[in-house]
Amino acid sequence: MGIIGKTLVSMATTLALMLSSPVWAGEEELNEAIIDYMDFATYESGIIVPEQMSKEVFESAYLVDTRDAEQFAEGTIPGAVNIDWREIPARVDELPENRMVILFCNTGSLSAQAAFAARLMGHENVLILQTGIIGWRENADYKPET
């Protein structure tokens, strides 16, 4: 893990400890931890667009549909698991650390919130499918036969 990765893990650990502490350190410290984390984020970091979802990417990624169970049941990207976007922080340990994790919702807005939380909690391998399942259906480079 590089220096940036170690720094992000350190900041995420600090943030997690602050939030889980029975005596919370305070809003100022929380704000500082978030700002420090965001200082390391590049404009394109943490996203993938449907056109980048080649067969190789699709087959190697862990796909997480962050929509609610009802929307998931109505149809999802083949092979995706369902973890509601609000549940990601509580279930972050279910996300593999040894491969790319792609979170998606309908358009990318709710999954972006979930990905932000996961990344703050030390999961640098989490990406957001920009434009969500709607964009994937329209523009994905690869769609498996269903």
Catalytic site positions? 105
Residues 120, 18 contacting (CB under 8 angstroms) = no
* Spatial separation of the C-alpha atoms in residues 122 and 141, rounded to whole Å: 29
Query: In which element (H, E) is residue 115 found?
Result: helix 109-120
Burial of 143 per CB tally in 10 Å (0-12, 13-18, 19+): middle
DSSP string, 123-143: -TTEEEETTHHHHHHHH-S--
